[in-house]
Amino acid sequence: MASNTECAPPGSGLNPIDVSLNYLLSQVTALTAYEEVNLPAALKRILAAPVTSTVNIPPWDNSAMDGYAIATQDLTLKGETRLPVSQHIPAGHVGLPLASGTAARIFTGAPIPKGVDAVVIQEQCQREGELVRFSVNVQPGDNIRRLGEAVKQGQEVLSKGLFVQPQHVGMAASVGVRTLSVVRRPKVAIFSTGDELVQPGQVLGEGAIYDSNRPTLEALLEAAGCEVLDFGHAVDDVDTITDLLGRASQVADLIISSGGVSVGEEDHVKPAVEKLGTLLLWKIAIKPGKPLAYGTVKGTPFFGVPGNPVALFVTFAVFIRPYILKMLSAQCIATPSYPLPLGFAWKNKGQRQEFVRVQCVTNADGKRYLMNYPNQSSGVLTSVVWADGLAVIPKDSVLSEGDTAEYWPFSALL
């Protein structure tokens, strides 16, 4: 997938997060292919076309409650109203026109018969054989849901670009839709690098660690609605990585590698990318995740994420997820966040914006605040497991307990 290169890349120094993100989003070419899928399969996909209702909801005036359908003209003006029950109308059945001076036993969802202008809920009534009595003040329209009051025929009920959630599936079904048009899944090729990596399930030798990054990346991508192409693990060799990048560029819309993008002599991803394409962005003022790289490989966009697992997680949340959402033409790309007070003090005297792993907790007074994990190292994956979100700490700032910070809940990112 070719990138849009109208926006000039940021400088070669430490690039601010907002400048870097704006540049990355300017490079996105949206996917145009779409497919029709059954409703359950549309979950967490992006709508390629709006959904318009062909029916009114409700399709007729119906009872909002179990109770008794009446004509308010039959109410006793003072004291108790007593009416004979002339018919029984369950949901799914159509009653007869209401006989004057009577009530109809009616159930939630049942059509309102001709002659009825109100429903008295059953909790306000006393039934005595074939009579019903009640003393409440009843007004025309009480407990009646009117034709089309929820959805009008021809009304757009789901809009293009929507990230489909369970309630949207239900909405589509309620207007009689069996399938939804969704943007096709981006094909994302992933691989991890490093001589030290051993795959889970294998024997862990001396000097080796298990490869947690590739499974984490695969899970993050699937949660974002992607089709993952797993290219496995590459040793620290520039020719091996170059060959893998070339093969991935032929089948993927996006390539993401893990590790090998720092400044050590064993970091071979950057030179491999430059042999086949262009490195457009490197070094961002973010902690963790400074070495994040972006470029193209034979015209296919490429991200190189840091090898530290927390840095991978954070850079995916901040940069890669919005990039993918724009590929899908999603309505909402920005990360939902809101301010919460800190339950800890924090000094960030550097030039990088920090993303601190935190939990949102509630005190005895019912007030929410954020607590931090004690070890914020970018290699401590347990900090992400413990946390339920990220606190954003601006560069060159000193925050005291009780000061507010922007909170990014994981529930909005995954």
| Per-residue model confidence (pLDDT) at position 2 | 44
Cα–Cα distance list, 194 to 259, 260, 271 (Å): 7, 7, 15
pLDDT truncated to tens, each residue of the chain (414 aa)? 444 445 667 766 899 999 999 999 999 999 999 999 999 999 999 999 999 999 999 999 999 999 999 999 999 988 999 999 999 999 999 999 999 999 999 999 999 999 999 999 999 999 999 999 999 999 999 999 999 999 999 999 999 999 999 999 999 999 999 999 999 999 999 999 988 889 899 988 898 999 999 999 999 999 999 999 999 999 889 999 999 999 999 999 999 999 877 655 557 898 999 999 999 998 999 999 999 999 999 999 999 999 999 999 999 999 999 999 999 999 999 988 999 999 999 999 999 999 999 999 999 999 999 999 999 999 999 999 999 999 999 999 999 999 999 999 999 887
Cα–Cα distance list, 379 to 159, 194, 304 (Å): 41, 15, 17
- Closest C-alpha to 82, from 121, 138, 131: 131
Strands (E), 59-207: 62-63, 67-70, 81-89, 103-106, 118-121, 126-128, 131-134, 144-145, 156-158, 179-183, 187-193, 197-198
- The per-residue DSSP string of 312-337 comes to HHHHIIIIIHHHHHHHTT-S--SPP-
Cα–Cα distance list, 115 to 51, 90, 97, 142, 258 (Å): 36, 17, 6, 14, 71
Please report where in the chains the tokens 């949660």 appear, as a residue: 223
Please give the class, per CATH, of domain 338-412.
mainly beta
| Per-residue model confidence (pLDDT) at position 264 | 53
Kindly give the interhelix angle for 269-276 and 238-249, rounded to the nearest 10 degrees.
50
Taking a C-beta distance cutoff of 8 angstroms, is the pair 104, 85 a contact?
yes
Quote the pTM value: 0.88
Give the pair of three-digit tokens for residue 286. Answer: 């973010």
For the chain, domain boundaries: 17-33+185-327, 37-56+151-183, 62-145, 338-412
Q: Please list the alpha-helical segments (H only) found in 181-320.
A: 213-223, 238-249, 269-276, 309-315
Q: Helix (H, G, I), strand (E, B), or coil: what is residue 169?
A: helix
Give buried/exposed letters for 3-38 (b at 16+ CB in 10 A, else e).
beeeeebbeeebbbbeebbebbbebbeebeebeeee
| Per-residue model confidence (pLDDT) at position 266 | 54
φ/ψ of 214, rounded to 5, equals -65, -45
Please name every residue paired with 52 in a beta bridge, in sequence order, or none if there are none: 156
| Per-residue model confidence (pLDDT) at position 268 | 83
CATH architecture of 62-145: Beta Complex (2.170)
Supply the CATH classification number for the domain 37-56+151-183: 3.90.105.10
Cα–Cα–Cα angle for 21, 297, 289, nearest 5°? 40
Taking a C-beta distance cutoff of 8 angstroms, is the pair 305, 217 a contact?
yes
230 class by beta-carbon count within 10 Å (0-12 exposed, 13-18 middle, 19+ buried): middle
| Per-residue model confidence (pLDDT) at position 260 | 78
CATH architecture of 17-33+185-327: 3-Layer(aba) Sandwich (3.40)
Give buried/exposed letters for 111-136 (b at 16+ CB in 10 A, else e).
bbbebbbbbbbbeebeeeeeebebee
